[in-house]
Amino acid sequence: MSIDWITVAAQIANFLVLIWLLKRFLYRPILDGIDAREAEIKARMQEAAEAEAVAKTTEASYRAQIEAMHAAQSDVSERLRQEAEAERDTLLAEAHARMDQERKSWQAHLTEEGQKYSIKLHRAGAGALLSLTRKALMDLADDTLEGRMAHHLIAQIKPMISDIERASGPATEAVFTSHAALPEAAQTALGAEFQAAFPNVTLAFLTDPDQAPGLVLRMGGAQVAWTVDSYLDGLDAVMQDHLSTGADLKAHPNEA
Amino acid sequence: MTLSPDQTILFDLWGLSLNATVFFTWIVMLVLTLGSILVTRNLRPDVPPNRWRTTLEVIVQGIESQIKEIAGRSDRPLLYYAGTLFLFVAVSNLLLVIPGFQPPTASLSTTTALALSVLIAVPLFGITSRGLGGYLKTYLQPSFIMLPFNIISEFSRGVSLAVRLYGNIMSGAVIATILLGVAPFFFPVIMDVLGLLTGMIQAYIFAILATVYISSATKTAPAPSPASPTEKETS
């Protein structure tokens, strides 16, 4: 066992050369390759991170758009609901107005029908009253209704002659109007009595179907009348009283 | 029986004799260099690494990680030095299985040369890292009384490195040679396998010890950050 110092020197030189050779052909290429690959991986990671950031930004943008759409959808829903409520209120108001109008129309129709019925009833009652009165007078006193009406009117006129003359002024014509034509005898009697009271006045007899049964004297501005209106009003009052009593009985049958 | 390949003179040219140690060292150097050139000749970032390149990357990164564990940082010059030590010793010992090959590490001249290189590399790395004054101060640590002991320790490291590697490799080769004479069919195979194992272990130990010595000489407090430009050589 000995040390050959020449060999030692040669081995040191060989070793230094080997260091240079391996540095040149092994370490640098390998480490540079690793560094390049790591740099490439790092660049790719960076690209991936940037892509991820872009994706997150896009995701956030889409989420914001979706939220905005949801908010807009809520607004539209709320607006549609309000419009629907307004439309409903309008339709309800129109329906109420139409119902009120129809109720008023119906009420007016009822009132009109009631008035027509009342007039019809009034006329029917008047006709019946006159017919019954005429028949009762004929049966009991052998007299006509028109004759009695003429007699009654003359009786009313006699104490009022001066008042009638003052009210009529310088009238030269007088007219007796009746619902139906007066009998000849009644006209004669009435004419005689009137000429006795007003000798300078010409007398005429007219019929007016629209007038209430009775007699009306018109002379200038004066008018004296006797009609069955007051009697018919009394009859109407009685009938209305009975009708209302009947309506109450219908509305409250248990109280009868 | 020759105990050292230094004694085997292959040829003599113009008064210069080429012994087996230098010759087989050149073989090892040729194998390492040609292997590296073959593997790294088409090394481009766009070409995916093949199995040989991956093998070399694993070896280089393994050495680098060992250095990082010991020194606490990545050091490219130390990687070149310690890595070459490891690869040279390991390949020399692995080629032992080739009949007729005499490992250069079985020569005390080679192990002495490697130990001397470590002995020179330690102060060189230390001076590069700490400066001349800073490195010389380490011999006075923790007190000037320790100066002779530190100097002795420095030289004894080299001697121990040289003798340890030489003893292990040479003894393995000698035992294999002796057993070849006693039982030529069975024991040499076992001894060669053991020689491979001890050779790899010795390569690892030699490189690790060199790294420890150099890193202890270059270690400064506080340790520089891994991104420091002094740690990574710019290529």
Nearest-CA distance A49 → chain B (Å)? 22
* Stretch among A16-20, B8-12, B99-103, B116-120 having the lowest mean pLDDT: B8-12
Q: What is the DSSP letter of B104?
A: G
pLDDT at A1 over 60: no
Interface of A with B in 31-70 (CB under 8 A): 31-34, 36-37, 40
**Under DSSP, is residue A219 helix (H, G, I), strand (E, B) or coil?**
strand
Confidence of residue A250 (pLDDT cuts 50, 70, 90): low
Confidence of residue B31 (pLDDT cuts 50, 70, 90): very high
Contacts A–B by Cβ distance under 8 A: 114
Q: pLDDT, tens digit, for every residue of B16-26? A: 778 888 999 99
Would you call A14 and B108 a contact, using CB atoms and an 8 Å cutoff? Answer: no
Residue B145: what pLDDT?
83
Chain A residues in contact with B47 by the CB 8 A cut-off are none
Encoded tokens for B178: 């002796």
Residue of B nearest to A34 (CA): B57
Contact status of A184 with chain B (Cβ, < 8 Å): no
* Pairing of the two strands A202-207 and A214-219: unpaired
* Stretch among A54-58, A225-229, B58-62 having the lowest mean pLDDT: A225-229
Phi, psi of A224 (to 5 degrees): -130, 135
Alpha-carbon distance of A242 to A119, in angstroms, equals 17
pLDDT at A248 over 90: no
**Under DSSP, is residue A123 helix (H, G, I), strand (E, B) or coil?**
helix
| CB-closest option in B40, B109, B116 to A25 | B40
Contact status of A15 with chain B (Cβ, < 8 Å): yes
Confidence of residue B2 (pLDDT cuts 50, 70, 90): low
DSSP string, B2-69: -SSGGG-EEEEETTEEEEHHHHHHHHHHHHHHHHHHHHHTT--TTSPP-HHHHHHHHHHHHHHHHHHH
* Stretch among B29-43, B121-135, B176-190 having the lowest mean pLDDT: B176-190
Is there a contact between B191 and B179 (Cβ–Cβ < 8 Å)?
A: yes
Q: pLDDT, tens digit, for every residue of A159-216? A: 888 888 888 888 888 898 888 788 888 888 888 888 888 888 888 888 888 787 788 8
**Average pLDDT across chain B, whole number:** 80
* Pairing of the two strands A173-178 and A214-219: antiparallel
Of A16, A17, A24, A25, which to mutate for an interface test with B (greatest number of B Cβ within 10 Å)?
A25
C-alpha B97 chain-centroid distance: 19
C-alpha A148 chain-centroid distance: 56
Is there a contact between B196 and B93 (Cβ–Cβ < 8 Å)?
A: yes
Encoded tokens for B66: 């060992």
| CB-closest option in A14, A29, A33 to B22 | A14
Q: pLDDT, tens digit, for every residue of A12-28? A: 999 999 999 999 999 99
Alpha-carbon distance of A190 to B228, in angstroms, equals 153
Q: Name the residue with tokens 């040289």.
A: B162
Biggest CA pair distance of chain B: 60
Q: pLDDT, tens digit, for every residue of A57-71? A: 999 999 999 999 999
Chain B residues in contact with A18 by the CB 8 A cut-off are 29, 32-33, 84, 88
Alpha-carbon distance of B108 to A4, in angstroms, equals 8
Residue of A nearest to B52 (CA): A30
pLDDT at A256 over 50: no
Residue of A nearest to B16 (CA): A6
> Which residue ranges make up each domain of chain A?
143-250
Would you call A18 and B107 a contact, using CB atoms and an 8 Å cutoff? Answer: no
Residue A170: what pLDDT?
80
Chain B residues in contact with A37 by the CB 8 A cut-off are 45
ipTM value of the model? 0.83
Q: pLDDT, tens digit, for every residue of A68-122? A: 999 999 999 999 999 999 999 999 999 999 999 999 999 898 888 888 887 787 7
Q: pLDDT, tens digit, for every residue of A31-53? A: 888 888 888 899 999 999 999 99
Contact status of A5 with chain B (Cβ, < 8 Å): yes
* Residues in chain B whose Cβ is within 8 Å of chain A: 3-4, 6, 19, 21-22, 25-26, 29, 32-33, 36-37, 40, 43, 45, 49, 53, 56-57, 60-61, 76, 79-81, 83-84, 87-88, 104, 107-110, 112-114, 116-117, 235
Would you call A22 and B43 a contact, using CB atoms and an 8 Å cutoff? Answer: no
pLDDT at B223 over 60: no
Chain A residues in contact with B235 by the CB 8 A cut-off are 28, 31-32
Alpha-carbon distance of B39 to A30, in angstroms, equals 9
Residue in B90, B41, B84 with CA at minimum distance from that of residue B60: B84
